[in-house]
Amino acid sequence: MKTMKIVVVGGSAAGAKAAAKARRLDQSAQITIIQKDPDLSMASCGYPYYVGGTFDNRNALLATPTGVVRDPGFFQKTKDIKALVQTECVAVNREARQVECRDLQSGEKFFVEYDKLILCMGGKPKRIPVPGTELEGVTHLLSMADTDYLHRAASSKEVQHAVVIGGGLIGVEACEALVSRGIKVTLVEMESQILTMLDWQMAKLVENHMKSKGVDVRVGTRLETLTGEGGRLSSVTLGDGTVIPCELAVLATGVEPITEPAAGAGLAIGELGGIAVNEYMQTSDEHIYAAGDCVECVNMITGNKVLAPMGDLANLQGRVAGENVAMGNSVTFSGTTQTAICKVFDFGAGVTGLTEKQAKKASVAAYETVVNASPDKPGFMGAGLLISKMVVNSDNDKILGCQCVGSGDVSRQLATMAMAVRAGMTVTDLATADLPYAPPYSLAIDHSIATAHIMGNKLKGRFKSISAEEVWQRIQDGNPPFFLDGRGPDEYEVLRLGIGEKYIPLGMLRNKLDELPRDKGAEIVCFCKISLRGYETALILEANGWTNVKVMEGGIMAWPFAREA
């Protein structure tokens, strides 16, 4: 029987996983990895934490769970896989089934034959057309070389002020890493919010948290120029004319697929610029597969093609590609719900499925949203706050997506919601889900279930609500409703919104109804810290004849605007 020749271009997440999976299923195959960088199987999502000093052993980014570095010797000895590092794939000859390679150290060119080829070239930084990107002190955070550079710069004590351009996942993680090194950081984002994977209110809560940690966050402005002295960065100029002196600039403006040599070989490229693949991770050539950041995949909710450059998806896609080249097309990658999470100082922030703005863009015929703020566990167990926003198809009550931010266990909530979205669960399904409960881990009614309860009440017309953004707009328009704060006295003295609210503790409300608007049709907005008491307040008012009562979703804890000092 002929020995199969499997060649994998790219040795990071998708490529290393594809090669390893193929080897497990075919012990006789001749498997070769072609890797442009000097390192293999890099834990790229760990780069910011190495830069920030969470750990200082560089090899931890390249090692197995037992601490063995995944270098060419490791792949050869443990997996019988030949890994050619510092080797570039120059071209693919589909007719001859050959990969043309160049040794980047010697410049020598050579060819590697394949029966099956897997392209896992990853992504590259989106280039921004501004002067000065070549200056010393300007870098990205996408490769091990970038990471090494930033680690040296951040730990050298020579950088006093850094500017991070781009408020996405990498950008906000870079901010935390640099602040943890004692560096003053300014974050610049051209959109009106950071973390555009979230809706505005949720992103604003994260922005407020970053500001509380000392980050100067500037949204709605762009980088204009990078200026240097003697070839070294000295300042950045923003679109609004602001000049910020700095010694370091991190360009975190996103990634785009690397499609060479796929495009050069005539493989189909999708409309979004990634390599087109089917559910088997197979390209337009039956002998060539592709996986990771270089491909387009399917959004499982909308059915549209998306770019989803995430480390976990790269591993999953690589596993599918590796199995299919070894065993024939037998497994599929069904798509993504675009689940993402990041650590932002003491906050977690993440999303799964559709946001409200994505639901609008996808032309979902009818949807409803709700915001829930509540603890992740009992107060006596050291509770952390969670703020979630759920999006539901109101025609069939299916959960379309959820966002979650806060100091509580965001990851657990997103994991629950991600499975609910993927499974096509309804609000009722989640509202009665049997999730694990014990005080060290959750409330008796878990935050995700409570969010489903609130949404269920809203869909049934029992919970009449208004968002914080709608409240703020009413105030700005000079047409505010009557605001009623139902918290206790101690809470009110410590923190208040300062929007002209009337303060009546819930326990005293029934005896003070005469202090409310005499017009029973007047709009009244009730709230408290998380609006649980706000909901109870609204029910009391409705029982006493008021007909236009709303609850502000999430209460004070989900309020993204300025509060009274």
152-190 tens-digit pLDDT? 999 998 999 999 999 999 999 999 999 999 999 999 999
Per-residue b/e over 485-511, b at no fewer than 16 CB within 10 Å? bbbeeebeeeebbebebeebbbeebee
Alpha-carbon distance of 311 to 324, in angstroms, equals 20
Q: Break the chain down into helix, strand, coil percent, rounded to 5.
A: 30, 25, 45
Domain 5-122+256-327 sits in which CATH superfamily? Answer: FAD/NAD(P)-binding domain (3.50.50.60)
Which CATH architecture fits 346-459?
Answer: 3-Layer(bba) Sandwich (3.50)
Mean pLDDT taken over the chain: 97
Whether domain 138-253 has CATH 3.40.50.720: no
Residue range 504-528: mean pLDDT, rounded: 97
Does residue 35 carry a pLDDT above 70? yes
Does residue 86 carry a pLDDT above 70? yes
Alpha-carbon distance of 481 to 483, in angstroms, equals 6
138-253 against 465-558: fold identical: no
Identify the CATH number of the domain defined by range 465-558: 3.40.250.10
Per-residue b/e over 78-113, b at no fewer than 16 CB within 10 Å? ebebbbbbebbbeebeeeebbbbbbeeeeeeeeebe
pLDDT tens, 459-493? Answer: 999 999 999 999 999 999 999 999 999 999 989 88
Q: Where are the alpha helices (DSSP H) in 269-373?
A: 311-327, 356-361
Alpha-carbon distance of 314 to 17, in angstroms, equals 9
| pLDDT, position 365 | 87
Neighbouring C-beta atoms of residue 160, cutoff 10 Å: 12
Alpha-carbon distance of 440 to 136, in angstroms, equals 49
pLDDT tens, 103-121? Answer: 999 999 999 999 999 999 9
Does residue 382 carry a pLDDT above 90? yes
Place 363 in a pLDDT band, splitting at 50, 70 and 90: confident
Q: Where are the alpha helices (DSSP H) in 26-168?
A: 47-51, 72-79, 144-155
Alpha-carbon distance of 258 to 381, in angstroms, equals 47
| pLDDT, position 455 | 98
pLDDT tens, 14-30? Answer: 999 999 999 999 999 99
CA 438, 444, 449 angle in degrees (round to 5)? 120
Domain ranges of the chain: 5-122+256-327, 138-253, 346-459, 465-558
Does residue 2 carry a pLDDT above 90? no
- Classify 264 in phi/psi space as left (phi over 0), alpha (psi -120 to 50) or beta: alpha
| pLDDT, position 565 | 62
Residue range 66-89: mean pLDDT, rounded: 97
